[in-house]
Chain A
Amino acid sequence: MDYAFIVDQGLGILATASVSALVAMGLALSFRLMGIINLASGDFMMIGAYSVLTCVAIGLPYLVGVIAACVIGFLFGALTEVGLLRRFARAPELAILGTFGLGIVIRQIVELIFGKNFQFVENPLSGSVSIGGAEFPLYRLVLIAVSVAVIGALLLVLTVTPLGVKVRAVAADGDLAETLGIQSGRLKLVVFAVSTAMASLAGSLIAPLTNVGPGMGNAYLFVMFVVVIVGGARVSMVLVAALAIAIVQNVTTLVVDSLVAKLAILGMAFLVLAATRPATKGAIV
């Protein structure tokens, strides 16, 4: 267990956590504000990956692809909120079915346009750099930096700006906030669009590291939901949860193997649920 090894593992954990944090933060925000559980989050990641893929394919720089992914994710999210989610306003739990269906439709449309096969985005920053004696992939460092910057900016917006105050007011009590003159409808539109833009950004960032295919989002959705289950709907706790799960996942893979790692994070979710579940009056067992 030398120093280089710890640096290597630490950065690896940060890289894993930053991707899940980006998506999970959006999930938590839209759940808190609208009661919407967005089962299409993985598919918004996929949209981001295909945005980058398309931009790179037509000769645009990778960075333009990432920006395009954010914009497309935002617009698609806004469209989804107006066209689909508003209809679930009185019964948000039904939105689980709605976003599940939406996800299938998105996957099928992407499959029609791009085909079923995996496609690949070339790594724009191939190779590794030496940090504290550890050889760490350069691209993953940039991924960590971008994610941390975006998450930090969002936290800043939520805590210090007037917009953030409004978001928190609606999250605390939507009806009361309305009586104070906050247009919660418009706010929800923006928050949901930001959440899908973040998923799309995450998808565009992982595109050079993995396979781009219509079903790629499903592989990530599992971890994202475990993060939200463990972290709850508070954004800061979601970040802690993303980090904790990345630690459990990476360390378990290293010490035992990948399958046990998957079970371990599931076990973690069960433990947190069992520990935090409020005592129910008249519980049968």
Chain B
Amino acid sequence: MIHRSSLAAIVAAAGIVATLTGCSMSSDGAPSSTETIKIGLLTDLSGAAGIFGPPTQNAAELAVEEINAAGGVNGQQLELLVADETGVPTAGVSAAQRLIQEDGIAALFGQHNSATRDAVAPVTSDAGLAYFHTPLAEGNFCSANVISNGEVPAQQLAPAIPYLQTETGNNKWFLLGADYIWGQTVLADAEKYILASGGEVVGKELVPIGTTDFQSVITKIKQSGAQLIIPAIFGGDAITFEKQAFDAGVGNSAVQRLGVIYEDGTLGAMGAEVTDGMFVSMAYNEALDTDANAAFLKAYYAKFGDDAPPQSALSEQTYVAIHAWANAANKAKSTTSLDVLTALSGSTYDGPSGTVTFGPDHFATQSIVLTRVQPDGVSVVATTFDSVDAEQTCSEPMGK
């Protein structure tokens, strides 16, 4: 009998060990030495948002390579350490703790959802570390050591909603959101801007992250008589929803999409038939026709090959954050949070999508690009909105 129950224990133990080692960390290959300054990247390499991780890791590696080629930070080379936060806040916290305590990173860059940011921010604050939360998020987060350079709903929606109403001649909206702080804020903000521009909200729905069956939600949209929809759901959930909605006759030709996190990787996985005609409002798109973007993309695909995952606002913002941090650290001649963030406040960085201004409110004023997907699945720029303010009111000091 003993060996039977111990077999069960062994199987379970093997599984647990495998799970633990599954959340491993990888280094970017640069030789580890006391001469380098280490920075950490916390990103989603698995889970619902796992699709966003690989291009983000690439963008970060590219930024580090460029900074090192230009002389590094205060004469020292940068070394990038990447950890998977798997979409789980507790996993993000333990990964951040490892990066800080065992690897001694000088700054943390996080491309993950805001639940993880809320959990990780106290850890970086205790360590006196500058922490950049880079992807688009709901805003309204205020902590001395945290910079949120990702676009917020105010930036994505305030100019895009009236533009779309004029463009389509329609104004009946359905709002669909992932049921957590970001989705909830997008829905609340969207309602505010829709009402302000003379539109009407005919339906609202929050769905749990990881929803696999959208049938009833799709029926609700059908019944509401909506002409436009803001789907604030991401990654795998977004792809599942759009594929199911298309098959149920609620595709983009029936209800016009205004995506707020439908980056090109997500759209590509939905298929060209499904995405035809969708609008997306984010801070960056590869389709931007500027010299800065052309140079960025040339360097990106030269380094990672033509098959590399496409860049989107979610990954490009990490590139912007690392460059802006390095510039500020060079200007401050220091890497402590207080010095770097003081130097960062009010500074600008000219990134692939234009000028980004880092305000004393811990957020970034930046341009927003509204793209539309063509029948062949390729996004083209419909219009851009320059220097859009994040409308934030954080009054914490920059760095502590």
Cβ A105 vs Cβ B15 within 8 A = yes
* In the complex, chain A residues whose CB is within 8 Å of the CB of B179: 258-259
A90 and B1 alpha carbons, distance in the complex (Å): 9
Whether B223 lies near A262 (C-beta < 8 A) is no
Chain A 244-264 residues near chain B, CB threshold 8 A: 249-251, 253-254, 257-259, 261-262
> A54 on the interface (CB 8 Å rule)?
no
Set of chain A residues within 8 Å of B240, measured between Cβ atoms: 209-211
In the complex, whether B302 has a CB less than 8 A from a CB of chain A is no
| A118 near B239: Cβ-Cβ < 8 Å | yes
A94 touches B4 (CB 8 A): yes
Chain B residues near A15: list those with CB within 8 A: 215
Contact of A103 with B8 at beta-carbon distance under 8 Å, contacts A258-B207, A259-B206 already known: no
- The answer to whether B9 and A97 touch across the interface, beta carbons within 8 angstroms, is yes
Of B43-51, B110-118, B129-137, B359-367, which binds chain A?
Answer: B43-51
CB of A234 closer than 8 Å to a CB of B: no
Q: Which residues of A contact B271 (CB under 8 A)?
A: 122
* Shortest Cβ distance from residue A42 to the other chain B in the assembled complex, whole angstroms: 12
B-side contacts of A135, CB under 8 Å: 248-249
CB contacts (< 8 Å) of B239 on chain A: these are 118, 120, 211
Q: Could you give 14 example pairs across A and B, Cβ below 8 Å?
A: A12-B219, A16-B213, A87-B4, A87-B8, A91-B1, A98-B7, A105-B11, A116-B46, A116-B50, A128-B249, A211-B236, A213-B46, A258-B216, A261-B216
Please state if A127 and B11 are interface contacts (CB–CB under 8 Å): no
Q: Which residue of B lies closest to A250 (CB)?
A: B216
CA A105 to CA B207, docked complex, whole Å? 30
Contact of A116 among B45, B219, B220, B223 (CB under 8 A): B45
Report whether B18 and A105 are in contact in the complex, using a CB–CB cutoff of 8 Å. Answer: yes
Chain B contact surface mostly: helix
**Docked pose: A126 CA to B216 CA in angstroms:** 19
Question: Chain A: which residue is nearest B53 at the CB level?
Answer: A117
Q: Does B205 contact A (CB under 8 A)?
A: yes
Q: Which residues of B contact A150 (CB under 8 A)?
A: none
B89 contacts partner chain A, Cβ-Cβ < 8 Å: no
Please report the C-alpha to C-alpha distance between residue A94 and residue B215 in the assembled complex, in whole angstroms: 38
- List, in ascending order, chain B residues with CB within 8 A of A12's CB: 215-216, 219
Give chain B interface residues in 1-30, CB to chain A under 8 Å: 1, 4-5, 7-9, 11-16, 18-19, 22
With most chain B CB atoms within 10 A of its CB, the pick from A95, A208, A254 is: A254
The answer to whether residues A259 and B11 also contact, given A137-B244, A254-B216, A254-B220 and a CB cut-off of 8 A, is: no
**Complex CA distance for A104 and B15, rounded to whole angstroms:** 5
Say whether B244 contacts A209, CB under 8 Å. yes
Query: Would A262 and B212 count as touching, CB distance under 8 A?
Result: no
Question: Restricting to B126-181, which residues have a CB under 8 Å from any CB of A?
Answer: 179
Contacts of B19 in A (CB 8 A): 104, 108
A202 CB, min distance to chain B CBs, angstroms? 12
Nearest opposing residue in chain A for B206, CB measure:
A257
Chain A residues with Cβ under 8 A from B47's Cβ?
A: 116, 215
Task: Say which residue of B14, B48, B51, B248 sits within 8 Å of A105 (CB atoms).
Answer: B14
A206 within 8 A of partner (CB): yes
Give the residues in chain B near A127, CB-CB below 8 Å: 247
Q: Is the CB of B215 within 8 A of A250?
A: yes
Q: Is the CB of B50 within 8 A of A118?
A: yes
Chain A, residue nearest B5 (CB): A94
Whether A97 contacts B12 in the complex (CB less than 8 A), given A90-B4, A105-B18, A116-B45, comes out as yes
**A contact residues around B215 at 8 Å (CB):** 12, 15-16, 250
Q: B243 interface residue, CB < 8 Å from A? A: yes
CB distance B8 to A88 under 8 Å?
yes
B208 part of interface (Cβ distance < 8 Å): yes
Q: Which of A101, A117, A120 contacts B11 (CB 8 A)?
A: A101
Hey, which chain B residues are within 8 Å of A206, CB to CB? 212
B269 within 8 A of A: yes
